[in-house]
Amino acid sequence: MSDSHTHDVSKHVRSYVLVFAALAVLTIVTVWVASFEFTVGAAVAVALIIATFKGSLVASFFMHLVSEKKAIYWLLALTAIFFVVLIFLPLGAMLDHQGTPNVP
């Protein structure tokens, strides 16, 4: 093994260890935040924020999206947009019928 190859491998291992440490810290933060008395909406928002950070770390480094081309980022953004739309479609349908009586 050449010295440059060894340096490249050690650089990747170092970044994986740092991401692992960040994920461990965020997991501890998740458990710590769970002990707070939040309303349901605030608890879900905080949990989603922490999960977004953890998910972006996993996708960026372990799935190697950091070094991908722009087309991958566009596909990832499109997937996220479709996800948000599909999450809020049932909410829109539910709010559309809000306040109307349940007449069979």
pLDDT tens per residue across span 67-77: 777 787 788 88
Confidence of residue 49 (pLDDT cuts 50, 70, 90): very high
pLDDT tens per residue across span 61-104: 888 877 777 787 788 889 999 999 998 888 877 777 766 666 55
Domain residue spans of the chain: 3-96
Among 54, 9, 8, 12, which residue's Cα sits nearest to residue 31? 54
> pTM of the predicted model, to two decimals?
0.62
End-to-end CA distance of the chain: 75
pLDDT of residue 4: 67
**Averaged pLDDT for residues 28-46:** 92
